[in-house]
Structure 1
């Protein structure tokens, strides 16, 4: 990545392995933002460092599940210095992000029961650095609604593959008019509203991606949910987990 070249960033992926890295390289990506579900920040950082190289930067991030499982609101945070658990109120999570001066993104707004509503984004307009205006898991009307929210509130846009499956990586990316070679560079690009292009495949590849990712969403919310919450026990990112040393006991929702 040399000065003057656009840096292509897939701003949100859930999977990371050699297949994902190869897929990212074939898609011409320079940066992946890796934010797996229910994984603590130190482990994410370790995995991101393991798969980063001179030609592909992997940036660690957390998609925090605020609220209850039934009414959860996902918020994507980059540049965290300390772990933040899931299942705490939105206002508590946003206060923690502000304390850590993290970059805050609104992924898939108003999608199903897992997203920030337009009212939430308006409330935290000054704290949110970008709104996702295209997500391949969306239907077209979801993307139109997301773009309307970003435009109305005058918040910068971003996109991602939101890949839960390796073959989805790179189907959408944000091309920044800046050189991004570190986590700090990416946070700075968002903070400074660096010029960018929203790039995505809207043909047959996108349709296959949508179908595959929606099928995975059904799995996530049926058997995987049962397995995770009833068979495996306390989540690693549960606010009452010993790893958080009691810091979030007073705001834990479970």
Structure 2
């Protein structure tokens, strides 16, 4: 029986889990911003049950805030901070044999581009071709990137808002009973199909998610949360014991 996976959500609580189940989503990949891996793992476990598997992940901010590029990382052994150079981030993901995905490619100022993907052809296991924040031109460009690179595709709700859960999913013809099952399917390039809802409700949810970008990308937010050096995923936070100082941009 096919398994419906939403490979990238930012929010997770009782309402999110309930909505995912109501919309027949089997697996959520939970990757919030500026949250350390142990906390993500604990929350993912809390909301996993027989009807919904929540897989922990990190959407890593690489580079400086003004020139950042996001990398979605699954199957991490140990925490990786934000705001390392892209090269330092990818070296660490390669060292850990993590699953690296390219969310929202060439979208706004927060994304990997085709040059990055071609420079590291063996490190990435997928490129996102649809999420509700994309305009149609972004979806078309993402599909071109998949064709040009030969990388597998995926689609996600990229949900920052609860109503967006279940609007997009990636379907595999395989059972996924544990995070390792999903990691294997992504690494192996297993066949999958990307689906999304349509109609007025979908368009309204897309607009709501797009509007959310104003706060998501505000300098005030990042200056307050990250650049002070006290944010949990800042590379110079004491939790990382100086291991990433060389690759840090702040």
* Fold in common (TM above 0.5): yes
TM range (shorter): over 0.9
Residue 172 (1) aligns with residue 172 (2): no
Q: Name 2:245's counterpart in structure 1.
A: 249
Alignment of 1:82-101 (within 5 A): 82-101=78-97
Aligned counterparts of 1:195 and 1:177: Cα–Cα separation in 2: 8
Instruction: Provide the C-alpha distance between the structure 2 equivalents of 1:21 and 1:248, rounded to a whole number of angstroms.
Output: 35
Select which of 181, 187, 190 maps to 1:191: 187
Other-structure match for 1:23: 19
Q: Deviations over 1:11-58 (max 9, x none)?
A: 000000000001101110000000000000000000000000011000
- Is 2:211 the partner of 1:215? yes
Matches of residues 39-58 of structure 1 in structure 2 within 5 Å?
39-58=35-54
Work out which of the residue numbers 198, 204, 207 in structure 2 matches 1:202.
198
> How many angstroms does 1:165 deviate by?
0.5
1:143 paired with 2:139, answer yes
Of residues 51, 60, 71 in structure 1, which corresponds to 2:56?
60
Please give the TM-score of this superposition, normalised by the length of structure 1. Answer: 0.95
1:79 aligns with 2:75: yes
1:158 aligns with 2:154: yes
Cα RMSD of the aligned pairs, angstroms, is 1.2
Contact in 2 for aligned 1:16/1:34 (Cα 8 Å): yes
Count of paired positions? 249
1:34 pairs with 2:38: no
CA gap of 1:209–1:84, structure 2 versus 1, over 3 A, is same
Other structure's SS at 1:238 match: coil
Task: Please give the TM-score of this superposition, normalised by the length of structure 2.
Answer: 0.96
Q: Tell me how far apart the structure 2 counterparts of residues 97 and 191 of structure 1 sit (CA, whole Å).
A: 13
Q: Could you list the runs of 5+ residues in structure 1 that have no partner in the other structure? A: none
